[in-house]
Structure 1
Amino acid sequence: LDSIADDPFPDKEVVIINDGSTDNTDSVIREWIGKNGDRVQITYKSQPNQGLTKTLNTLLSLASGEYLVTLASDDFLLPGGLEKRLGYLRNHPEKYAVFADCIVVDQQGNQTHDSGLFSLRHADKAKLLTDEGIKEEFISNFAVPGPVLMVKRDFYTRFGNYNEEMYMEDYDLYLKFAAQNLIGFLDEKVSAYRLHESNMSAGSSSNFIKLLEDSRKTLKLHWNDFQGYHRWLLAKEIAKFTIRIQLQRIKNYSAQRQSA
Protein backbone atom coordinates (compact mmCIF):
# COMPACT_ATOMS: atom_id res chain seq x y z
CA LEU A 1 0.00 0.00 0.00
CA ASP A 2 2.83 2.40 0.79
CA SER A 3 4.29 1.80 -2.68
CA ILE A 4 1.00 2.89 -4.27
CA ALA A 5 0.66 6.02 -2.15
CA ASP A 6 4.34 6.89 -2.71
CA ASP A 7 4.24 6.44 -6.49
CA PRO A 8 4.61 9.89 -8.07
CA PHE A 9 1.66 9.45 -10.44
CA PRO A 10 -0.73 12.19 -9.25
CA ASP A 11 -4.25 11.02 -10.15
CA LYS A 12 -4.83 7.58 -8.69
CA GLU A 13 -7.39 5.68 -6.67
CA VAL A 14 -6.77 2.75 -4.29
CA VAL A 15 -9.43 0.06 -3.89
CA ILE A 16 -8.67 -2.42 -1.09
CA ILE A 17 -10.57 -5.64 -0.46
CA ASN A 18 -9.97 -7.71 2.65
CA ASP A 19 -11.16 -11.12 1.47
CA GLY A 20 -11.98 -12.84 4.75
CA SER A 21 -8.68 -12.53 6.60
CA THR A 22 -8.70 -13.94 10.13
CA ASP A 23 -5.65 -12.08 11.51
CA ASN A 24 -5.20 -8.36 12.21
CA THR A 25 -5.32 -7.36 8.52
CA ASP A 26 -8.46 -5.27 8.98
CA SER A 27 -6.96 -3.13 11.74
CA VAL A 28 -3.70 -2.71 9.79
CA ILE A 29 -5.62 -1.53 6.72
CA ARG A 30 -7.78 0.89 8.70
CA GLU A 31 -4.70 2.32 10.39
CA TRP A 32 -3.05 2.80 6.99
CA ILE A 33 -6.17 4.51 5.64
CA GLY A 34 -6.16 6.86 8.62
CA LYS A 35 -2.59 7.89 7.84
CA ASN A 36 -2.93 8.12 4.03
CA GLY A 37 -6.53 9.08 3.33
CA ASP A 38 -5.52 12.67 2.60
CA ARG A 39 -2.85 11.56 0.07
CA VAL A 40 -4.92 9.32 -2.21
CA GLN A 41 -8.57 8.44 -2.82
CA ILE A 42 -9.30 5.15 -1.01
CA THR A 43 -12.21 2.70 -1.11
CA TYR A 44 -12.14 -0.17 1.40
CA LYS A 45 -14.36 -3.25 1.58
CA SER A 46 -14.08 -6.12 4.07
CA GLN A 47 -15.97 -9.28 3.12
CA PRO A 48 -16.25 -12.98 3.96
CA ASN A 49 -13.86 -15.04 1.86
CA GLN A 50 -15.04 -15.14 -1.75
CA GLY A 51 -11.93 -16.39 -3.50
CA LEU A 52 -9.66 -14.57 -5.94
CA THR A 53 -11.79 -14.35 -9.08
CA LYS A 54 -14.96 -13.10 -7.38
CA THR A 55 -12.86 -10.61 -5.46
CA LEU A 56 -11.32 -9.32 -8.69
CA ASN A 57 -14.79 -8.75 -10.11
CA THR A 58 -15.77 -6.89 -6.95
CA LEU A 59 -12.70 -4.71 -7.40
CA LEU A 60 -13.82 -3.90 -10.94
CA SER A 61 -17.24 -2.85 -9.68
CA LEU A 62 -15.76 -0.57 -7.00
CA ALA A 63 -13.04 1.09 -9.09
CA SER A 64 -13.87 4.24 -11.03
CA GLY A 65 -10.65 4.75 -13.00
CA GLU A 66 -10.16 4.45 -16.75
CA TYR A 67 -7.02 2.32 -16.31
CA LEU A 68 -6.82 -0.57 -13.86
CA VAL A 69 -3.87 -2.25 -12.12
CA THR A 70 -4.15 -5.11 -9.61
CA LEU A 71 -1.58 -5.69 -6.90
CA ALA A 72 -1.46 -8.63 -4.49
CA SER A 73 -0.87 -7.88 -0.82
CA ASP A 74 2.70 -9.21 -0.87
CA ASP A 75 3.90 -7.40 -4.02
CA PHE A 76 4.72 -3.72 -4.46
CA LEU A 77 5.09 -1.05 -7.15
CA LEU A 78 8.37 0.45 -8.28
CA PRO A 79 8.37 4.26 -8.57
CA GLY A 80 7.14 5.40 -11.97
CA GLY A 81 5.70 2.03 -12.95
CA LEU A 82 2.16 3.35 -13.28
CA GLU A 83 3.10 6.26 -15.54
CA LYS A 84 5.27 4.07 -17.78
CA ARG A 85 2.40 1.68 -18.47
CA LEU A 86 -0.09 4.49 -18.90
CA GLY A 87 2.26 6.16 -21.38
CA TYR A 88 2.44 2.96 -23.41
CA LEU A 89 -1.35 2.64 -23.65
CA ARG A 90 -1.78 6.29 -24.60
CA ASN A 91 0.87 5.89 -27.31
CA HIS A 92 -0.73 2.66 -28.57
CA PRO A 93 -4.48 3.36 -28.66
CA GLU A 94 -5.17 0.08 -30.48
CA LYS A 95 -4.10 -1.85 -27.37
CA TYR A 96 -6.41 -2.51 -24.42
CA ALA A 97 -3.67 -3.76 -22.10
CA VAL A 98 0.06 -3.70 -21.50
CA PHE A 99 2.30 -5.95 -19.42
CA ALA A 100 5.80 -5.12 -18.30
CA ASP A 101 8.60 -6.73 -16.29
CA CYS A 102 9.36 -6.80 -12.56
CA ILE A 103 12.13 -7.55 -10.13
CA VAL A 104 11.77 -10.55 -7.81
CA VAL A 105 12.24 -10.43 -4.03
CA ASP A 106 12.11 -13.00 -1.26
CA GLN A 107 9.94 -12.90 1.87
CA GLN A 108 12.39 -10.51 3.56
CA GLY A 109 12.39 -8.13 0.58
CA ASN A 110 15.84 -9.09 -0.69
CA GLN A 111 16.13 -9.07 -4.48
CA THR A 112 16.63 -12.57 -5.89
CA HIS A 113 16.17 -11.98 -9.65
CA ASP A 114 16.65 -8.92 -11.83
CA SER A 115 13.75 -9.96 -14.06
CA GLY A 116 10.60 -11.90 -13.27
CA LEU A 117 9.93 -12.53 -16.94
CA PHE A 118 13.36 -13.55 -18.11
CA SER A 119 15.62 -14.69 -15.26
CA LEU A 120 12.82 -16.29 -13.20
CA ARG A 121 10.27 -17.47 -15.79
CA HIS A 122 12.56 -17.70 -18.86
CA ALA A 123 10.32 -15.91 -21.34
CA ASP A 124 11.61 -15.24 -24.86
CA LYS A 125 11.98 -11.44 -25.09
CA ALA A 126 12.17 -11.39 -28.90
CA LYS A 127 8.78 -13.06 -29.16
CA LEU A 128 7.18 -10.58 -26.77
CA LEU A 129 7.96 -7.73 -29.18
CA THR A 130 5.41 -8.84 -31.81
CA ASP A 131 1.72 -9.77 -31.70
CA GLU A 132 2.37 -13.16 -33.28
CA GLY A 133 5.20 -13.87 -30.86
CA ILE A 134 3.04 -12.93 -27.88
CA LYS A 135 0.43 -15.46 -29.04
CA GLU A 136 3.10 -18.16 -29.23
CA GLU A 137 4.57 -17.34 -25.81
CA PHE A 138 1.20 -17.18 -24.05
CA ILE A 139 0.12 -20.53 -25.49
CA SER A 140 3.38 -22.46 -25.09
CA ASN A 141 5.31 -20.68 -22.35
CA PHE A 142 3.05 -18.46 -20.25
CA ALA A 143 5.54 -16.69 -18.01
CA VAL A 144 3.98 -13.43 -16.82
CA PRO A 145 4.28 -12.75 -13.06
CA GLY A 146 1.33 -11.16 -11.30
CA PRO A 147 1.93 -7.44 -10.69
CA VAL A 148 2.85 -6.14 -14.17
CA LEU A 149 -0.45 -5.64 -16.03
CA MET A 150 -2.43 -2.48 -16.79
CA VAL A 151 -5.84 -2.75 -18.50
CA LYS A 152 -8.23 -0.20 -19.93
CA ARG A 153 -11.60 -0.39 -18.21
CA ASP A 154 -13.19 -0.48 -21.68
CA PHE A 155 -11.85 -4.01 -22.13
CA TYR A 156 -14.07 -5.37 -19.37
CA THR A 157 -17.05 -3.40 -20.70
CA ARG A 158 -16.53 -4.93 -24.14
CA PHE A 159 -15.49 -8.48 -23.24
CA GLY A 160 -16.90 -9.05 -19.75
CA ASN A 161 -15.39 -9.55 -16.32
CA TYR A 162 -13.25 -12.40 -15.00
CA ASN A 163 -14.69 -15.89 -15.49
CA GLU A 164 -15.49 -16.94 -11.92
CA GLU A 165 -15.42 -20.63 -12.84
CA MET A 166 -11.75 -20.43 -13.83
CA TYR A 167 -8.96 -21.28 -11.40
CA MET A 168 -6.34 -19.69 -13.69
CA GLU A 169 -8.18 -16.44 -14.32
CA ASP A 170 -4.99 -14.62 -15.31
CA TYR A 171 -4.12 -17.15 -18.03
CA ASP A 172 -7.66 -16.93 -19.39
CA LEU A 173 -7.42 -13.13 -19.48
CA TYR A 174 -4.04 -13.03 -21.22
CA LEU A 175 -5.22 -15.48 -23.90
CA LYS A 176 -8.22 -13.22 -24.55
CA PHE A 177 -5.87 -10.29 -25.05
CA ALA A 178 -3.46 -12.20 -27.27
CA ALA A 179 -6.10 -13.75 -29.53
CA GLN A 180 -7.20 -10.31 -30.73
CA ASN A 181 -3.83 -8.52 -30.59
CA LEU A 182 -5.07 -6.30 -27.75
CA ILE A 183 -1.97 -6.47 -25.53
CA GLY A 184 1.55 -5.15 -25.85
CA PHE A 185 4.80 -5.58 -23.96
CA LEU A 186 6.77 -2.79 -22.26
CA ASP A 187 10.38 -3.72 -21.47
CA GLU A 188 10.52 -1.87 -18.14
CA LYS A 189 10.57 -2.95 -14.49
CA VAL A 190 7.36 -1.61 -12.96
CA SER A 191 6.90 -3.64 -9.77
CA ALA A 192 8.33 -6.25 -7.41
CA TYR A 193 7.04 -9.82 -7.32
CA ARG A 194 7.52 -11.55 -3.97
CA LEU A 195 8.41 -15.24 -3.99
CA HIS A 196 7.14 -17.35 -1.11
CA GLU A 197 6.09 -20.93 -0.48
CA SER A 198 2.53 -20.59 -1.80
CA ASN A 199 3.55 -19.29 -5.24
CA MET A 200 6.65 -21.47 -5.63
CA SER A 201 4.84 -24.81 -5.49
CA ALA A 202 1.48 -26.29 -6.46
CA GLY A 203 0.98 -27.72 -2.98
CA SER A 204 -0.38 -31.24 -2.70
CA SER A 205 -0.33 -33.72 -5.57
CA SER A 206 -4.11 -33.41 -5.93
CA ASN A 207 -3.78 -29.62 -6.23
CA PHE A 208 -1.08 -30.09 -8.85
CA ILE A 209 -3.45 -32.22 -10.91
CA LYS A 210 -6.12 -29.53 -10.56
CA LEU A 211 -3.62 -26.95 -11.79
CA LEU A 212 -2.77 -29.09 -14.82
CA GLU A 213 -6.43 -29.77 -15.55
CA ASP A 214 -7.35 -26.11 -15.34
CA SER A 215 -4.47 -25.18 -17.64
CA ARG A 216 -5.79 -27.66 -20.20
CA LYS A 217 -9.36 -26.41 -19.69
CA THR A 218 -8.25 -22.82 -20.28
CA LEU A 219 -6.51 -23.72 -23.54
CA LYS A 220 -9.58 -25.63 -24.75
CA LEU A 221 -11.80 -22.67 -23.92
CA HIS A 222 -9.85 -20.56 -26.41
CA TRP A 223 -9.74 -23.13 -29.21
CA ASN A 224 -11.91 -21.07 -31.55
CA ASP A 225 -9.98 -17.86 -30.82
CA PHE A 226 -6.83 -18.95 -32.65
CA GLN A 227 -6.21 -20.15 -36.19
CA GLY A 228 -3.49 -21.86 -38.21
CA TYR A 229 -0.14 -22.24 -36.50
CA HIS A 230 -1.41 -20.97 -33.17
CA ARG A 231 -4.29 -23.45 -33.13
CA TRP A 232 -1.73 -26.19 -33.81
CA LEU A 233 0.22 -24.89 -30.80
CA LEU A 234 -2.96 -25.08 -28.72
CA ALA A 235 -3.49 -28.71 -29.76
CA LYS A 236 0.13 -29.53 -28.91
CA GLU A 237 -0.12 -27.96 -25.44
CA ILE A 238 -3.47 -29.61 -24.71
CA ALA A 239 -1.94 -32.98 -25.58
CA LYS A 240 1.07 -32.27 -23.35
CA PHE A 241 -1.16 -31.40 -20.40
CA THR A 242 -3.20 -34.57 -20.96
CA ILE A 243 -0.04 -36.68 -20.78
CA ARG A 244 1.21 -34.84 -17.68
CA ILE A 245 -2.15 -35.36 -15.93
CA GLN A 246 -2.09 -39.09 -16.61
CA LEU A 247 1.53 -39.41 -15.48
CA GLN A 248 0.77 -37.50 -12.28
CA ARG A 249 -2.23 -39.75 -11.56
CA ILE A 250 -0.01 -42.81 -12.00
CA LYS A 251 2.58 -41.27 -9.69
CA ASN A 252 -0.08 -40.51 -7.06
CA TYR A 253 -1.48 -44.04 -7.28
CA SER A 254 1.98 -45.58 -6.86
CA ALA A 255 2.67 -43.37 -3.84
CA GLN A 256 -0.63 -44.40 -2.25
CA ARG A 257 0.14 -48.10 -2.83
CA GLN A 258 3.58 -47.74 -1.23
CA SER A 259 2.19 -45.96 1.83
CA ALA A 260 -0.65 -48.46 2.32
Structure 2
Amino acid sequence: MSSVDVVVPCFRYGHFLRECVESVLTQSGPELRVLIIDDASPDNTAEVAQELRSDSRVDYRRHISNQGLIATANEGIAWASADYMLLLSADDYLLPGALSRSVDLMDNHPSVAFTFGGAVVLDQRGDHPFYRSYYGTEVDLRTRILSGLEFITLGLVLWCHRPS
Protein backbone atom coordinates (compact mmCIF):
# COMPACT_ATOMS: atom_id res chain seq x y z
CA MET A 1 0.00 0.00 0.00
CA SER A 2 1.31 3.46 -0.90
CA SER A 3 1.93 6.10 1.73
CA VAL A 4 1.40 9.86 1.74
CA ASP A 5 2.99 12.54 3.90
CA VAL A 6 0.85 15.67 4.04
CA VAL A 7 2.89 18.77 4.90
CA VAL A 8 0.84 21.55 6.51
CA PRO A 9 2.75 24.82 6.94
CA CYS A 10 0.85 27.08 9.30
CA PHE A 11 1.18 30.75 10.25
CA ARG A 12 -1.75 32.50 11.95
CA TYR A 13 -4.17 29.80 10.74
CA GLY A 14 -4.81 28.07 14.06
CA HIS A 15 -8.53 28.66 13.57
CA PHE A 16 -8.40 26.61 10.32
CA LEU A 17 -5.87 23.97 11.34
CA ARG A 18 -8.15 21.43 13.02
CA GLU A 19 -10.58 21.20 10.10
CA CYS A 20 -7.69 21.00 7.62
CA VAL A 21 -5.93 18.15 9.44
CA GLU A 22 -9.17 16.28 10.12
CA SER A 23 -9.97 16.41 6.40
CA VAL A 24 -6.70 14.53 5.87
CA LEU A 25 -7.05 12.06 8.74
CA THR A 26 -10.51 10.97 7.56
CA GLN A 27 -9.18 10.00 4.11
CA SER A 28 -9.41 6.33 3.23
CA GLY A 29 -6.85 4.37 1.28
CA PRO A 30 -3.18 5.20 1.62
CA GLU A 31 -1.13 5.15 4.82
CA LEU A 32 -1.03 8.75 6.07
CA ARG A 33 1.19 11.01 8.10
CA VAL A 34 0.49 14.71 8.70
CA LEU A 35 3.49 16.97 9.24
CA ILE A 36 2.45 20.30 10.75
CA ILE A 37 5.04 23.08 10.77
CA ASP A 38 4.06 26.07 12.89
CA ASP A 39 6.03 29.05 11.59
CA ALA A 40 6.09 30.86 14.96
CA SER A 41 2.39 31.70 14.86
CA PRO A 42 1.26 34.24 17.45
CA ASP A 43 -2.22 32.66 17.61
CA ASN A 44 -3.42 29.31 19.02
CA THR A 45 -1.73 27.17 16.34
CA ALA A 46 0.57 25.49 18.89
CA GLU A 47 -2.33 24.46 21.14
CA VAL A 48 -4.40 23.11 18.25
CA ALA A 49 -1.41 21.20 16.84
CA GLN A 50 -0.61 19.68 20.24
CA GLU A 51 -4.22 18.46 20.53
CA LEU A 52 -4.05 16.98 17.02
CA ARG A 53 -0.92 15.05 18.03
CA SER A 54 -3.20 12.75 20.05
CA ASP A 55 -3.50 10.94 16.69
CA SER A 56 -0.25 9.00 16.15
CA ARG A 57 -0.29 9.95 12.45
CA VAL A 58 0.31 13.63 13.30
CA ASP A 59 3.80 15.07 13.84
CA TYR A 60 4.50 18.68 14.76
CA ARG A 61 7.34 21.19 14.70
CA ARG A 62 7.34 24.82 15.80
CA HIS A 63 9.75 27.51 14.68
CA ILE A 64 11.13 29.90 17.28
CA SER A 65 11.07 32.72 14.73
CA ASN A 66 9.11 33.14 11.52
CA GLN A 67 10.94 31.68 8.51
CA GLY A 68 8.37 32.53 5.84
CA LEU A 69 6.25 30.26 3.68
CA ILE A 70 8.88 29.17 1.16
CA ALA A 71 11.45 28.13 3.77
CA THR A 72 8.75 26.41 5.84
CA ALA A 73 7.33 24.56 2.82
CA ASN A 74 10.82 23.47 1.76
CA GLU A 75 11.49 22.20 5.30
CA GLY A 76 8.30 20.14 5.11
CA ILE A 77 9.23 18.75 1.71
CA ALA A 78 12.62 17.71 3.09
CA TRP A 79 10.91 16.16 6.17
CA ALA A 80 8.55 14.03 4.05
CA SER A 81 9.63 10.43 3.45
CA ALA A 82 6.50 8.66 2.18
CA ASP A 83 5.92 7.37 -1.35
CA TYR A 84 4.00 10.57 -2.11
CA MET A 85 3.84 14.04 -0.60
CA LEU A 86 1.16 16.71 -0.52
CA LEU A 87 1.79 20.33 0.45
CA LEU A 88 -1.52 21.55 1.91
CA SER A 89 -2.14 25.03 3.23
CA ALA A 90 -3.68 25.11 6.69
CA ASP A 91 -6.69 26.99 5.30
CA ASP A 92 -7.41 24.30 2.69
CA TYR A 93 -9.29 21.02 3.06
CA LEU A 94 -9.40 17.71 1.22
CA LEU A 95 -12.64 16.29 -0.07
CA PRO A 96 -13.35 12.63 0.80
CA GLY A 97 -11.42 10.23 -1.40
CA ALA A 98 -9.00 12.86 -2.75
CA LEU A 99 -5.84 11.08 -1.65
CA SER A 100 -7.08 7.65 -2.68
CA ARG A 101 -7.92 8.89 -6.19
CA SER A 102 -4.55 10.63 -6.52
CA VAL A 103 -2.53 7.67 -5.25
CA ASP A 104 -4.41 5.23 -7.47
CA LEU A 105 -3.79 7.41 -10.52
CA MET A 106 -0.08 7.82 -9.77
CA ASP A 107 0.38 4.13 -8.93
CA ASN A 108 -1.29 3.17 -12.23
CA HIS A 109 0.47 5.84 -14.33
CA PRO A 110 4.11 6.08 -13.14
CA SER A 111 4.90 8.84 -15.65
CA VAL A 112 2.52 11.22 -13.83
CA ALA A 113 4.56 13.65 -11.73
CA PHE A 114 1.75 15.19 -9.66
CA THR A 115 -2.02 15.32 -9.39
CA PHE A 116 -4.52 18.04 -8.67
CA GLY A 117 -8.25 18.10 -8.32
CA GLY A 118 -11.12 20.44 -8.77
CA ALA A 119 -11.30 23.28 -6.31
CA VAL A 120 -14.20 25.32 -5.08
CA VAL A 121 -13.10 28.94 -5.11
CA LEU A 122 -15.39 31.35 -3.35
CA ASP A 123 -15.49 34.98 -4.36
CA GLN A 124 -16.28 37.83 -1.97
CA ARG A 125 -20.05 37.23 -2.35
CA GLY A 126 -19.71 33.53 -1.52
CA ASP A 127 -20.39 32.54 -5.14
CA HIS A 128 -18.16 30.04 -6.84
CA PRO A 129 -17.60 29.88 -10.59
CA PHE A 130 -17.27 26.45 -12.13
CA TYR A 131 -14.22 25.67 -14.25
CA ARG A 132 -13.78 22.54 -16.31
CA SER A 133 -10.67 21.40 -18.14
CA TYR A 134 -11.03 19.78 -21.53
CA TYR A 135 -7.28 19.52 -21.93
CA GLY A 136 -5.36 16.29 -21.70
CA THR A 137 -5.93 12.61 -22.35
CA GLU A 138 -9.05 11.16 -20.75
CA VAL A 139 -8.37 8.27 -18.36
CA ASP A 140 -11.99 7.88 -17.29
CA LEU A 141 -15.04 10.13 -17.06
CA ARG A 142 -13.54 12.13 -14.17
CA THR A 143 -9.80 11.93 -14.85
CA ARG A 144 -7.48 13.39 -17.44
CA ILE A 145 -3.70 13.31 -17.78
CA LEU A 146 -2.24 16.60 -18.96
CA SER A 147 1.15 17.26 -20.52
CA GLY A 148 3.26 19.96 -18.90
CA LEU A 149 2.28 22.46 -21.61
CA GLU A 150 -1.42 21.62 -21.19
CA PHE A 151 -1.12 22.17 -17.43
CA ILE A 152 0.55 25.55 -17.92
CA THR A 153 -2.13 26.54 -20.45
CA LEU A 154 -4.88 25.50 -18.04
CA GLY A 155 -3.26 27.57 -15.28
CA LEU A 156 -3.20 30.60 -17.54
CA VAL A 157 -6.84 30.11 -18.53
CA LEU A 158 -7.93 29.82 -14.89
CA TRP A 159 -5.80 32.81 -13.84
CA CYS A 160 -7.21 34.99 -16.62
CA HIS A 161 -10.79 34.03 -15.67
CA ARG A 162 -10.48 34.13 -11.90
CA PRO A 163 -13.22 35.87 -9.91
CA SER A 164 -12.51 39.50 -9.09
Scaled by the length of structure 2, what TM-score is found?
0.68
SS at match of 1:113: coil
2:61 aligned partner, one-letter code: K
What is aligned with 2:135? 127
Show the counterpart of 1:25: 45
Alpha-carbon RMSD: 2.6
Number of matched residues?
130
Q: Which runs of 5+ in 2 are unaligned?
A: 1-20, 138-145
Code of the residue aligned with 1:26 in structure 2: it is A
Q: In 2, distance between residues paired with 1:74 and 1:106?
A: 15
Please show how residues 205-216 of structure 1 align to structure 2 within 5 Å: none
| Match of residue 82, structure 1, among 96, 99, 108 | 99
Query: Of residues 56, 67, 71 in structure 1, which corresponds to 2:88?
Result: 71
Report the counterpart of residue 33 of structure 2 in structure 1.
Answer: 13
When residues 135 and 105 of structure 1 are mapped into structure 2, their CA distance, relative to the original with a 3 A threshold, is closer
TM-score, structure 1 normalization: 0.44
Structure 1 counterpart of 2:117, which letter? A
Instruction: Give, in whole Å, the separation in 2 of the partners of 1:136 and 1:114.
Output: 19
One-letter amino acid matched to 2:85: L
The superposition leaves residues 183-210 of structure 1 with CA deviations (integer Å, 9 ceiling, x where unpaired) of xxxxxxxxxxxxxxxxx88xxxxxxxxx
Unaligned runs of 5+ in 1: 119-123, 144-199, 202-260
Give 1 or 2 for the bigger CA radius of gyration.
Answer: 1
Higher helix content, 1 or 2: 1
State the partner residue of 2:58: 42
Structure with higher RCO (Cα < 8 A, 6+ apart):
2
Q: How far 1:96 sits from its partner (Å)?
A: 1.4
In structure 1, distance between residues paired with 2:154 and 2:26: 33
Identity %: 30
Matched, 1:100 2:117: yes
1:50–1:77 CA distance, 2 compared to 1 (3 A): same
